[in-house]
Amino acid sequence: MSAFGLTIAATDGRARTGVLATRRGEIRTPAFMPVGTAATVKAMTPEAVRETGADILLGNTYHLMLRPGAERVAALGGLHRFMNWTRPILTDSGGYQVLSLSKIRKITEEGVEFRSHLDGSRHHLTPERCMEIQHLLGSDIVMQLDECPPSTAEAREIARATELSLRWARRCREALADEPGRALFGIVQGGLHDDLRARSAEGLIGIGFPGYAVGGLAVGETQADMFRVLEATVPRLPADKPRYLMGVGKPADLVGAVARGIDMFDCVLPTRSGRTAQAFTRRGTVNLRNARHAEDPRPLDAACRCPACRNYSRAYLHHLVKANEILGAMLLTAHNLTYYQDLMAEMREAIGAGRFEAFAQSFAREQALGDIAPSAETG
């Protein structure tokens, strides 16, 4: 069984590429984790997700504790067997979902009490119970329970939540026994306040974790604010440990965050967009609902290796979307996840070759061109 650890193969400025070893296989970094919130990546089979190039998936403690239940998943052999995914799984702690989905909740030193958004049933999630659930699920990367107030909250409220998250982090560390190849990540909080981010990072490093996440972003702040927080926070984190930016993001966010030293990402955007007719391409975002695609025989992206681009026209994808056929969501989700994985692979290659800055500039230029209509392409 492999020990957990990050090996850096190359750096280019603050950008870095390497391999993160876990008990269920290696993760190439920078890495994008498709979101399988409820033990499934929506509109995809596990085999299809793997074909996109994904090395690791994300599941969620909040959703899985409510349905089907962590104890049930454990009795059925753990999350990997339950969903037929043999490679690594990271589970988010559920703290953000408690705050965003539960209408009735109470946060105390002990933990958070809330009512399920599914049936109104009462639940109590403590740092210790959070660790127990993720252990039952069989997670390879476990996230601490934290409180994530909105970035628009008053500074004193964000400071209170940051200190509470630090105390919960210590309890999580004490509750989860070390196990070869498994890792618990601490989460840096602090909103848009550099001093609170510094305090959070310092406190987590003092506790000691195998990896560190930056939380509390991708919640409505500008990209400039996000990048500023990363520039102030990432250099404070240990260089030999993985750095995970939670819930991010758009392709340009990924490129900018990698440039600032981030190794791991997750986001619902590529899958959610696939179900709402939005496709990410090298020329920006394409809306397949638009009538201009109705008679377009071209592939969505001629340079893409996904099934949608290899085998189907824009006209057919447009038809599927307009007819509300499930296949449309499946093909566009597969495309978006392939695009994201290929983007990560291109960044890994560029960092290894020492040309990341040139790659980032080329990426921005191509995105700015926008999708070209057939008449413009041939005229």
Asked which of 18-22, 99-103, 137-141, 363-367 is least confident by mean pLDDT, the reply is 99-103
154: pLDDT strictly greater than 90? yes
Tokens of 7: 């090996």
What is the mean predicted confidence (pLDDT) over 139-152? 94
276: pLDDT strictly greater than 80? yes
Cβ atoms of 43 and 268 closer than 8 Å:
no
- pLDDT tens track for 193-220: 999 999 999 999 999 999 999 999 988 8
319: pLDDT strictly greater than 80? yes
For the chain, what percent of residues have pLDDT higher than 70?
A: 98
pLDDT of residue 35: 98
Map tokens 């498709």 to a residue: 34
The domains found in the chain, sorted by start residue, are 5-267 (3.20.20.105), 279-378 (no CATH)
The pLDDT-based confidence of 377 (bands split at 50, 70, 90) is low
376: pLDDT strictly greater than 80? no
Q: Is the pTM of this model over 0.95?
A: yes
Q: Which residues pair with 122 in a beta bridge?
A: 115
pLDDT of residue 94: 84
Identify the sign of the CA torsion 361, 367, 370, 376. positive
57: pLDDT strictly greater than 50? yes
- pLDDT tens track for 255-268: 999 999 999 999 99
Q: Of the listed 146, 266, 296, 301, which one is catalytic?
A: 266
Which residue pairs, CB below 8 angstroms and at least 24 apart, start in 133-136? Answer: 133/61, 133/64, 133/65, 133/70, 133/94, 134/61, 134/91, 134/93, 134/176, 135/176, 136/70, 136/71, 136/73, 136/74, 136/78
Catalytic annotation present for 266: yes
333: pLDDT strictly greater than 70? yes
104: pLDDT strictly greater than 90? no
Residue 75, classified by CB atoms within 10 Å of its CB into exposed (0-12), middle (13-18) or buried (19+), is exposed
Map tokens 């490679």 to a residue: 87
- Residue 205, helix vs strand vs coil: helix
Q: Measure the CA–CA gap between 45 and 106, rounded to whole angstroms.
A: 37
378: pLDDT strictly greater than 50? no
Q: Of the listed 12, 55, 92, 371, which one is catalytic?
A: 92
